[in-house]
Amino acid sequence: MAVTRSSVKQSSQRCVAVQMFTRKWFWLCLCSGASALALAEAPAEPVGALTEIGLTASAASEADDAQEAAALFRSLEQSGITDPAPPATPERIAPRASVLGLAPAPREPERRSQFDIPARDPAAEPARTIARRVANFQNLRARVPGAVWHEDPQARFAIRSQASCLAELAALGVRAHLLERPLTTPVPAPVVLDGPIEGVLFASLHLDRDVEVSCELAARLPALARILHAQGVRVVGVNSSYREAPKVSFHTFGLALDMAAFRKRGQTLIVAQHFEVTPDDRTCQARPATPEGKALLEIACALAESHLFSSVLTPNYNEGHRDHFHVDLRPDDPRLFVR
């Protein structure tokens, strides 16, 4: 997308200029109305280290979001974390030794063969394909030492029709629109996030990608945002949402989200840098030494306690998760996992 100083002024985009990624200047924009966070290389050098343009009084809170997001990006760059690439290889099993043993996994849930969704609904085929594929997944989580499992019948959910899920998004005030491009993997009602949710902005850390998830996951974001907001979080740096690979990942169903950094006012918590890996403690029994480590662990454990997600994976899980928290939703499965 071409963003120039004059085009930004003419549109209702709220942008700040930030210097990052190879020291080039970028416009960091909350695009008009839709307001997904967008980044574009600035063609001209802006004035000052951080220049606000195109701001109006009514846009104050969006401008504030953009400022906080800019601060998050700057913190990531200062930490040497720039435009992180999504993992392209299957997640590896933790190579680190732990004194903790393997927790016995609850038995596999019964797989659904009947679906309530009308056959012609756009979510029907993805729901059936996901059920078929998941039935053949190996239980990789059962091989990770130090994990904690719970079972909560209330956490069990079924994929809904596209219309009923989108209606819930609207009722929840989640700004999102249906993803138009054809996908190569089954995603029930894929949507693109269009703005902050409950005062929390979910910002893609990739220059060329929006935050894309199944409607089912988007419908959990207000509750997730409330948990984060209670911890003081304003912006979440998302390093992966929907992606096409690997085939055994819930990301390919739009049912997983990777969060690499959290911006509070005046502070950025970076999972890769601040989370304290504790192979010999169950994750939520650990006692981090630093305030940042403690704050990140509080976030992860509040997410686990909420029973909102089937999995909450921290850097304790394995090498492939050293730089983010992964959460996912598993249809028709009452099992909850944290590591």
Cβ neighbours of residue 171 closer than 8 Å, sequence gap 6 or more? none
Of 228 and 312, the one with the shorter C-beta distance to Zn ion is 312
Cβ neighbours of residue 286 closer than 8 Å, sequence gap 6 or more? 276, 278, 297
Of 67 and 241, the one with the shorter C-beta distance to Zn ion is 241
- Residue 141 engages Zn ion in binding (rule: CB under 5 A): no
Q: Where are the alpha helices (DSSP H) in 151-290?
A: 162-172, 215-218, 221-230, 271-274
Give CA–CA dist 197/201, Å, rounded: 6
Of 326 and 335, the one with the shorter C-beta distance to Zn ion is 326
- Residue 243 engages Zn ion in binding (rule: CB under 5 A): no
- CA pseudo-torsion sign 302, 303, 305, 311: negative
Of 212 and 258, the one with the shorter C-beta distance to Zn ion is 258
Please identify, among the stretches 51-59, 108-116, 281-289, 322-330, the one whose residues bind Zn ion according to the rule CB under 5 A: 322-330
Query: How many amino acids of this chain bind Zn ion (CB under 5 A)?
Result: 3
Site string for Zn ion, 280-319 (x = CB under 5 A): ----------------------------------------
Of 263 and 326, the one with the shorter C-beta distance to Zn ion is 326
Candidate list 14, 326, 330, 335; residue touching Zn ion; CB under 5 A: 326
Give CA–CA dist 173/221, Å, rounded: 11
* Residues within window 248-287 making contact with Zn ion, judged by CB under 5 A: 256, 258
- Residue 160 engages Zn ion in binding (rule: CB under 5 A): no
Inter-residue contact 281 to 314 (CB < 8 Å)? no
- The candidate with the shortest Cα–Cα distance to 71, out of 306, 266, 305, 304, is 266
**Contacting residues toward Zn ion, per CB under 5 A:** 256, 258, 326
